[in-house]
Structure 1
Amino acid sequence: MFILKKYISETLLKRAVFFTIILFFVSLHAAAAFGQILPTEYQVYYKGNHLGNVSDAKAVDKAITDKVKQAKKEYPSFSFAFHKEVSLRPETVLIPDTEDKKVIKQLKELPIEAKSYAIEVDGKKVVFLPEKKEAAETIEALKYQYLTDEEREAIEKGKTESKTKIKEISFSQEVGIEKSEVKPSQIMDSKKALEKLNKGSKEEKIYKVKQEEKLAAVASENGIDTKKLVALNPALEQKTKLEEGQSVIVEEEKPFVDVVINKEIIENRTIPSAKKVIPNSNLPKGKIHIKQEGKSGEKEIHTVVSIENGVEIKKNVKSQEIVSEPVATIVEKGTKIIPSHGTGSFEWPAVDGLITSKLGYRWGKLHKGIDIAGPSDPAIKASDNGVVIFAGMSNGYGNKVIIDHQNGFQTLYGHLDSISVKEGDIVPSGSKIGIMGSTGHSTGVHLHFEIRQNGKLKNPLNYIHR
């Protein structure tokens, strides 16, 4: 009996397993067959964000293609990655839940971005260019913009004999290039990108008011209009009187990145020749003789200069080297007094007195010298050493004396009351030659005094010393 029960149990177990296996394969086949007739919907994503579900994938693809085509028409030189930014995920469902019109509308309204290369300053994207090459060229232009053509050529050709050696060019911030997708309107050419990098952004700074400086002057000094200045300083009004030293908020443009150049300048400078004057007792007083011609020297100076954005901020002399020593000019100056030779220095020809008339036209006629009147002593003196070449009456001059100073100069003394010298006399400077008077064409007692050099009339006031 036990054996019979065991047999029945095993038989039933085997049949159960068999029917389970058959049922599994039948269900699997049915599900596969049923899935072929279930609808498929597409989940639409833009940059990972779910926009909704659609039933027509082709409509989505057409919307993308049309959008890119329109962008290409407007910006033919740019590349667009809109296809990659939009993705579709198919899904078989029992009951579809789609919103094709809404999703297509969203796709059409999405901003389309172009491929670009951003120049980053300290990780912040500042300008965008269409090609990596243009971005690199812009950075190079930014780096070398403050160099002269000669300095650029020296760097490019590796010249070592240049008078200016660029030691280092660096940026104050980290500058790099990164791929980026942005609106086409944000992409610019190299020239505009360089301008934007240099112009930078506006930052507030404190300005100290100068003495008696008005609001309009402060605005003009800082390149902003008065309304903007008042907006930055609400406490101010256009008619407010500013005080010296008062703090005012203004704006200044600060480049996104500072360009720092360290260079060594080698320049040759002239060392001026010194002049030494030595007395010579064998030369007549007033004469000079160049004993040794001078010659300038030369020195080479090495200067280290730091320049920030084209402005010199530091300058240090590294070394100096004498290339050639200067040679002094040695001048011998005569000290020997020879009564017949002038010294070139003219003394006042009277004892005190005042100038009553100067050189120039008077009463329609040229007055050839100066008139001196009112002395404390009537004596007339030789203005410098010389030889008397005329002593006597001379029409309008009355009693007249002419002294030749043997150096190209002659002096004339007119209207004398009496003459104390004769022609051929050697007269030292300061020696008496006559008495002041009013002879000839004269309106009163005075001395008429003239100076000539090589026959040409000179203004005595440029020569005489009191």
Structure 2
Amino acid sequence: MKGKIRLSSFSSFIYDRWRKQQQMIKHQWKNYHKRIVTGTLAFAVSLGVSSLSMAQASAHINYFEELEKIYHIEVDDKRIGSVDNYQIVEDKMDKVLKENADQFEGKELLVGENISYTVERVFQSRVDNQQTIGELEDYLEVHVPSEYITVDGETVGHIDADKDVKEIRKSLIKDYLSDDEWEQWQERAGEALDEEEVIEDIQSGEEVLIDIELSADIESEQSSAHPDQILSIDEAKDVIINGTLEEDKYEVSEGDVLGSIASDHDLSLNELLALNDDIDEDTLLQLGDELSVTVYEPLIDVVVERIKKEEQTIRYQERTEEDDAIWQGESEVRQSGSDGEKLITSANVYENGQSVAEEIIEEEVTKEAKDRIVVHGTKTSPSRGTGDLVRPTVGGTMTSPMGPRWGRMHNGIDVAGVSNRDILAADNGVVSSAGNEGGYGNTVRINHNNGMETVYAHLSSIDVSVGQTVGQGQTIGTMGSTGRSTGVHLHFEVHENGQVKDPLNYVTY
């Protein structure tokens, strides 16, 4: 059959040798890409098997060598066209690299795509070199060598090939240490300290770095990327810290409040506010407002363990007691409170700078706290008076008796010059009035439920209320000079069966 050649077994042997010599190999495009790319030799003429002489076999081999070569060009395993001279492909790539040399001065440039070719021998070439090179140009992109960084399979990005992934680890760790801790950590070459030895030697006020761990490994492999895609060490670190999630947006609808939006998205209110710098707790949400509701999860957690010893305050407690010697409704501080102190040694774990766990190792009380004791009175009395009045002041001197004065009747006595200004109920009774009475100023009236009533005027303050039962000698207010008064004093009246009586008939001054 035309186009087929039959070879003897011996001729087949010769042909196999020729194939090895001529190769069916993969070609590497010089230094445009760092991995070997391959091509294969294909034939347009299929071969049969017959018995031919050595001379016939050689003739047929020479015949194949005289066929034209074409090169099928592939970019990342996608065929884009054919050329009859692969040198024009290399020339095109050289041109692209030279055109970008000034823009990326000082960087090693290479073609980022995986370009390969397959050789085929044909009777007549019908390739379009110009069209193929035009197609190739659309795919060509300048790259620089890089290290491709991942964390647990999650892409971080590319860093310069001259950088070491260890620099990212160091930068991550350094962010969560003080300058002194970082210096110590480097001196220790990253070795953890013995906790028991630290606990034994640590002094009050000290915090000692024990260990640092990263929750996942940072991995890298040789690669290449466009120069604009190369991250600095700090940029790569930021991607690791912040994660790579895009923020979700929530549109405010009717009835929404900040608390409910946070709860619906498994956020605390503080987390929601941190994601939205333009709002605070008092912001009034509007329908259609958009809020960020995604918390970025870091690709790596930096876990720091420290042991610290510190003095802490023991806050005093407040206790209440009852005392039947004090009138109900009155109270006094029997003992002032004072704080105590204690020394705490604790192991603390921090995750990305936030305290996540604390274990108390030792606790020593160095000063006991003293409780504050407040006593509340429970003393009560019947609402009916005894009829035997006591002085309504603590000491004092009568400054004006009952009787005519300044052209009018003075219906009581005035008392001043007291040792303290407490005003006392002259007998058991019920407060019938407590408030301002014009010329009398702040006034308290007590109905003793036995036909008697006492009046206490010009008070600076009132300590009882209408309807309150008071006992004889109970404080009902403070001496003052309210109303129509010439100075600090008490105006005291006694009424019996509706008649004004001279108070000196019941009390002595």
- Corresponding letter in the other structure for 2:67: L
2:69 to 29, 40, 47: 40
Find the counterpart in structure 1 of residue 426 from structure 2.
none
Find the counterpart in structure 1 of residue 276 from structure 2.
223
1:142 to 172, 175, 178: 172
Find the counterpart in structure 1 of residue 29 from structure 2.
none
Distance between the aligned counterparts of 2:249 and 2:110, measured in 1? Answer: 43
Aligned-residue identity in percent:
19
Distance between the aligned counterparts of 2:134 and 2:302, measured in 1? Answer: 51
Distance between the aligned counterparts of 1:271 and 1:185, measured in 2? Answer: 56
- Corresponding letter in the other structure for 1:223: N
Deviation at 1:23, TM superposition (A): 5.3
- Contact kept, 8 Å, 2:312 with 2:343, in 1: the verdict is no
- Contact kept, 8 Å, 2:147 with 2:221, in 1: the verdict is yes
Q: 1:367-398: CA deviations, max 9, x gaps?
A: xxxxxxx99663635569xxxxxxxxxxxxxx
Find the counterpart in structure 2 of residue 380 from structure 1.
417
Query: Are 1:257 and 2:310 counterparts?
Result: no
Shift in alpha-carbon separation, 1:23–1:166, aligned structure 2, 3 A: same
- Contact kept, 8 Å, 1:119 with 1:125, in 2: the verdict is yes
What RMSD over aligned residues (CA atoms) do the two structures have, in Å?
4.8
Shift in alpha-carbon separation, 1:250–1:377, aligned structure 2, 3 A: same
Find the counterpart in structure 2 of residue 154 from structure 1.
184
Q: How does 1:284-433 map to 2 (within 5 A)?
A: 300-321=343-364, 325-326=366-367, 350=396, 378=415, 380-381=417-418
Deviation at 1:129, TM superposition (A): 0.4
Q: How does 1:198-209 map to 2 (within 5 A)?
A: 198-200=241-243, 201-204=245-248, 209=257
Shift in alpha-carbon separation, 1:156–1:211, aligned structure 2, 3 A: closer
Find the counterpart in structure 2 of residue 66 from structure 1.
95
- Contact kept, 8 Å, 1:306 with 1:315, in 2: the verdict is yes
Distance between the aligned counterparts of 1:23 and 1:272, measured in 2? Answer: 108
- Contact kept, 8 Å, 2:249 with 2:292, in 1: the verdict is yes
Q: TM-score, normalised by structure 1?
A: 0.51
- For structure 1, the residue ranges without an aligned partner over 5 or more in a row are 1-20, 227-236, 243-247, 275-295, 330-346, 354-373, 385-442, 448-466
Shift in alpha-carbon separation, 1:171–1:30, aligned structure 2, 3 A: same
Deviation at 1:105, TM superposition (A): 1.6
Distance between the aligned counterparts of 1:76 and 1:179, measured in 2? Answer: 21
Q: 1:353-373: CA deviations, max 9, x gaps?
A: 9xxxxxxxxxxxxxxxxxxxx
Distance between the aligned counterparts of 2:352 and 2:487, measured in 1? Answer: 76
Distance between the aligned counterparts of 1:269 and 1:446, measured in 2? Answer: 52
Decide which structure has greater helix share: 1
Deviation at 1:203, TM superposition (A): 4.2
- Contact kept, 8 Å, 2:212 with 2:303, in 1: the verdict is yes
Deviation at 1:268, TM superposition (A): 3.1
- Corresponding letter in the other structure for 1:380: G
SS of the residue corresponding to residue 74 of structure 1 reads coil
SS of the residue corresponding to residue 64 of structure 1 reads helix
Q: How does 1:107-122 map to 2 (within 5 A)?
A: 107-112=136-141, 113-122=143-152
Of 21-30 and 47-56, more deviation after overlay is shown by 21-30
Deviation at 1:81, TM superposition (A): 4.2
- Contact kept, 8 Å, 1:264 with 1:302, in 2: the verdict is no
- Contact kept, 8 Å, 1:351 with 1:376, in 2: the verdict is no
- Corresponding letter in the other structure for 1:149: D
- Corresponding letter in the other structure for 1:88: Y
Deviation at 1:117, TM superposition (A): 1.0
Find the counterpart in structure 2 of residue 344 from structure 1.
none
SS of the residue corresponding to residue 98 of structure 1 reads coil
Shift in alpha-carbon separation, 1:351–1:254, aligned structure 2, 3 A: farther
- Contact kept, 8 Å, 1:351 with 1:380, in 2: the verdict is yes
Distance between the aligned counterparts of 1:62 and 1:195, measured in 2? Answer: 41
Find the counterpart in structure 2 of residue 267 from structure 1.
309
Deviation at 1:223, TM superposition (A): 1.4
Deviation at 1:123, TM superposition (A): 0.8
Shift in alpha-carbon separation, 1:27–1:266, aligned structure 2, 3 A: same
Deviation at 1:69, TM superposition (A): 2.5
Shift in alpha-carbon separation, 1:212–1:203, aligned structure 2, 3 A: closer
Distance between the aligned counterparts of 1:256 and 1:445, measured in 2? Answer: 75
Total equivalences in the alignment: 294
Shift in alpha-carbon separation, 1:66–1:297, aligned structure 2, 3 A: same
- Contact kept, 8 Å, 2:113 with 2:140, in 1: the verdict is no
Shift in alpha-carbon separation, 1:35–1:238, aligned structure 2, 3 A: same
Q: TM-score, normalised by structure 2?
A: 0.47
Find the counterpart in structure 2 of residue 333 from structure 1.
none
SS of the residue corresponding to residue 95 of structure 1 reads coil
- Contact kept, 8 Å, 2:147 with 2:161, in 1: the verdict is yes
1:125 to 136, 148, 155: 155
